[in-house]
Amino acid sequence: MRILVTDKKTNVAALRDQLLSSRLSAGQADAALTSLQTVNPHVDLTNLSPGTVLFVPDTPDFQETGSDSVSGDAFADFEHLVKTSLDAAVSRGKAASEVRAAESADVTRTFKSAAFKRVLAKDTELQTAVEAANAALKSEKEERDQAEATVAAASKGAIAALHALSQNLRVG
């Protein structure tokens, strides 16, 4: 497997010129581009932004000069970088959630204090505001929990997809 990082906005016609052997018939070129799309489900070959990473099959249909070899530990290093970055993002999210949970707990403790309850008993408008605040705190906690679970699942899924890709590329 080889790799190509686009250095400018690129489309399928430019990829055909850059990557495919000139001796291919139109049908063979289309089949080769289909195989390129298969190993790169993460991109739209008709509209590539600069910096897009493409995996290029090591087949005679593709020119070696159009891409770089994925050799040694390059893919494993990439996989490690992605996993480390995702783990860091999950950790930062959990830390922020813990800070917000501690703040919510402080507010709840204040609401439950004897002094606050005495003031609350005399003010129906404040009672309504406190009930709304309690509902908002509960909803916010549910949203934090859901967001944390979503990010963890997305991270786990991305790592699994990257591992599957490494197996498909036979580099892992």
For the segment 20-73, what is each residue's pLDDT rounded down to a tens digit?
Answer: 888 888 899 999 999 999 999 989 999 999 888 888 888 888 887 766 666 656
Closest CA to 21 of 62, 55, 59, 50: 62
* Beta bridge partner(s), residue 53: 5
- Condensed to tens digits (0 to 9), the pLDDT of residues 75-116 reads 777 888 888 988 898 899 899 999 999 999 999 999 999 999
The model scores a pTM over 0.95:
no
Mark 111-144 as b/e (b = at least 16 C-beta within 10 Å): eeeeeeeeeeeeeeeeeeebeeeeeebeeeeeeb
Q: Using an 8 Å Cβ cutoff, are 53 and 41 in contact?
A: no
Domain boundaries, the chain: 2-69, 74-169
